[in-house]
Amino acid sequence: MSTIAASASIHAMAVVEDGAVVGENVKIGPFCHVGPQVVLGDNVELLAHSVVSGRTKLGKGCRVFPMAVIGGDPQSVHHGGEETSLTVGDNCTFREGVTVNTGTADFGGKTIVGDNNLFLANSHIAHDCRVGNSVIMSNNVMLAGHVTIEDRVILGGGCAVHQFTRVGRQAFVGGLSAVSYDVIPYGMLNGNPGLLSGLNVVGMTRAGVDRATIHTVRRAYKAIFEGSGSIRENAAAIRDEYAECEQVVQILDFIAAESDRALSSPTRGQKG
């Protein structure tokens, strides 16, 4: 049996299947479809022709625009119909045609999206992705399976992120870029193949990072990517020197972490 708050507004031409949970002040427009395992938090709005299916939970204040499909089955040849899930935090906006898939059983069965995210038209989040908070995915951005996007990342229109790739906190990826390797926190990546082109100084400034700290991060960036050793060797060598700079430590921890992908650099993937 469905649990529908008395304050919810459901259009007569919408379908809310038995078992769905609909919170306070939810608005469901005409021709929407809400599946039987869906939970809609308070103040969620589904605009006409949007679909929320699967074992999906949308947090408070989320908005889903026409033709978006949230909670569809994973697009994986290994998916055998197992019950997997999608969890979305509060205040996320899914514009027209956005698709977000549930997880796959072989990798824990969960796709997880954080709070305050904006997903523009026709962007896609595949199975088992982890998306942080305050992320912007521009039109036609594609995340393959198992991608991790950390907080405050901006992905430019039409860029594609390879499966199992990580994009670090507050990185910026330019439009139409091919993200084949991990992108460090605060990094700027552009092109196909995608190459690091420096630091997201504009984003850091907007986030309140002071000029002196930005200069410190720049020095560390140069030491990591222009030093005589490998990226990981260079990063390990400067850890003590930059232990007091939070942003540099985040970059060093990201580099040191285990990953299925190599690290993007100013030269990796460049044709000779």
Of residues 127, 132, 162, 187, which has the active-site annotation? 127
> How many other CB atoms are found less than 10 A from the CB of residue 189?
29
| pTM of this structure | 0.97
Of residues 128, 156, 162, 182, which has the active-site annotation? 128
Digit-coded pLDDT (tens) for 96-143:
999 999 999 999 999 999 999 999 999 999 999 999 999 999 999 999
Bridge-partner residues for 182, per DSSP? 263
Task: Clarify whether 145 is annotated catalytic.
Answer: yes
Is pLDDT above 70 for 75? yes
Task: Specify the amino acid at residue 236.
Answer: A
Sign, CA dihedral 107-110-113-114, equals negative
Is pLDDT above 60 for 25? yes
Q: For residues 6 and 137, give the distance between their C-alpha atoms in angstroms, rounded to a whole number.
A: 34
The answer to whether 24 and 43 have CB atoms below 8 angstroms apart is yes
Of residues 132, 145, 174, 187, which has the active-site annotation? 145
User: What is 3-146's CATH number, 2.40.10.120, 2.30.30.60, 2.160.10.10, 3.40.50.300?
Assistant: 2.160.10.10
For 233, the enclosing helix (H) or strand (E) is: helix 231-237
> Model confidence at 266, in pLDDT bands (50, 70, 90)?
very high
Which tokens hold the place of 38? 């869906």
> Model confidence at 256, in pLDDT bands (50, 70, 90)?
very high
Instruction: Give domain limits for the chain.
Output: 3-146, 205-256
Quick one: average pLDDT of 232-236?
Answer: 98
Bridge-partner residues for 252, per DSSP? none
Task: Clarify whether 128 is annotated catalytic.
Answer: yes
pLDDT at 272: 43
Instruction: Indicate the SS3 state at residue 243.
Output: coil
Task: Clarify whether 127 is annotated catalytic.
Answer: yes
